Structure 1
């Protein structure tokens, strides 16, 4: 290579050649962010893989709910947390979005239930007291469905019993709720064995439907003929058999409740199935009444007052209740121009028959009930009003035989048929009193009064005569009698002459009697002395 002019010579140097840097060469300093990115990605993937399901729960109010703090608990174990609380689109409810743990995926089924746990007092039970310090949380209860779900409507109140509790649920029909509420207890022989779980008004508005849950093993005592009744407070009833007071436990008196029992005559039947429907009675007396299979309806037409007779009053046959009063009416007979009181009754023929021989169910007295009724009426069967309780004045109807009753027949031309009656005891007494008063009215009391006045005047004259004439003579006679008695008393004194003479005379009589006894003894020994005399007398 030629040197430029004017420069000294220098040794030859190698010529530098520029080498381009590789685009894929990594600096060591970049390892740290790469590792950080890898770890972050791994954590993100792990978080996604371990993330639990998200659910939305609608509540009527957001009271007690707080995003990021309110927990979701199942059996008091945290299974999730509320992430957000917002209003619904229509602003009528609150929507809580919650994230649950991964293991809770199989718990979110169609009938899973959620509710806010806060302090509550309902149906005599107190719950959620612990939340006063720890704060409210959302309770969770598992369902039995197999269909999954992610959106729910929260319960306004906690369920009475958790799922999986052994027992059975039954349905009760009632006219009204009384003092009952969700959580009210159910008693069996005064032992609490269940509670009311829900209630609702019937669609026709004529009654209510209650659901009760009976815990095991007591649910086996609910049978097909079991009777349920209101056990709230104190049940006081006035009937023909006096005053009755029935009470349950103190809890039932304070907060109300239900009770059930199976009649002894139908005990031992199969257990009732789940959700069997029963009728809820007002009290135990009504519930435990015998439910007869055969019911005949008759009418008793009374002419006397039925004051004290009420619907439900018993129809009695010689001390046995064989029916009850169903209705009381009034009737006007336009021909005779008279009012009467028809009383419609329900008669139970089964109670006239005996079941102890065969043990089977009772039935009718005869295969032909019309013919049997006619025979009974022909032999004096009548209905009569009687007083069941003098204190309350309540009446009942007695069926009995009255042989002296006028002849009568059953009136089959009307529906229900009419059975003849006889006046009650009070009515008969009233008729007798009326008849006596009528007879007394026929007595001429005015004439008798005049005669009585004349008799009293004659008696007054007689009394005057006795005072003026008879009484003085009577006084003189009594004075003379007194003098005679005094003389007799003086003569009878021990020192009187009469008494002394009498004593001497008695002595002489005694001597004479002794001489006669001596003579009698001698003559008894010597009877010949009457003829010959004594031997000494012949000398």
Structure 2
């Protein structure tokens, strides 16, 4: 019987197929990221974290983005207090989603950017029955997050903020009820002492007497104030009547002012007539100036008339002299004038 040798090609193909199936299975398993490194973070809480356990979810607005890996207690000598660091691992894809990038770059810079935008951690209750807690991440501005500081073995610190219930609880715990009760007791003792003091009783009696005197004084003032009140009423009535008269006079003055305004209205008939009269007077004055001008036609005509009248007067004077010398000149006509008498020549002296 002859033995058959195994085919190396078949064996190699089988091994390669098995490795490929194993890789596909590892990648396809839900919730597992075999080739990714989670982001380590730390959160410091100052109050009780009872109910928070390892493996508790770390969520962002209801979506699970990581798990709690370790819880411890640390004493702070500088402040004489205790801090509770809670370590957690966040999924790198979830951190990239919060930062807005979905690439496979380094996410070491993503968390600081988210913290600058206001990312803080608070403790939330998973169940009121069991009291289990979880870590709630969200962007909060009030109350502001608190950073612890210091080195945290390469983990990024996320600031923490107290819930509204925790803040109220811290305020109530900070109130000194014993001191408040002592103060109330001292106030009550002081009140009892004051009430029982004889000075207070005497003061109340004096106050009652003062009240009686005040009532009596008020009655006297009321009796004496009645005539004054009547006089004031009469004076007010007189003032009212005077005010009515003044109002009537003011109304009349207003009517007169309205009429004067109507007369002095630039568009009214009175002002228009005055303007027309002034225009006519201006034209008459211009005509008079033209007539009295030395070179005007009126003065020239007057000069000619005066010259004619002067010539007529000379003619009348000559006619009068002629009729005086020759009365029949109108019938016979005018005779020539007689020669003037000869002037005797003086004899020469001997």
| TM-score normalised by length of structure 2 | 0.41
| Greater share of residues in helix | 2
Greater RCO between the two (CA within 8 Å, min separation 6)? 2
| Greater share of residues in strand | 1
| TM-score normalised by length of structure 1 | 0.28
The structure with the larger Rg is 2
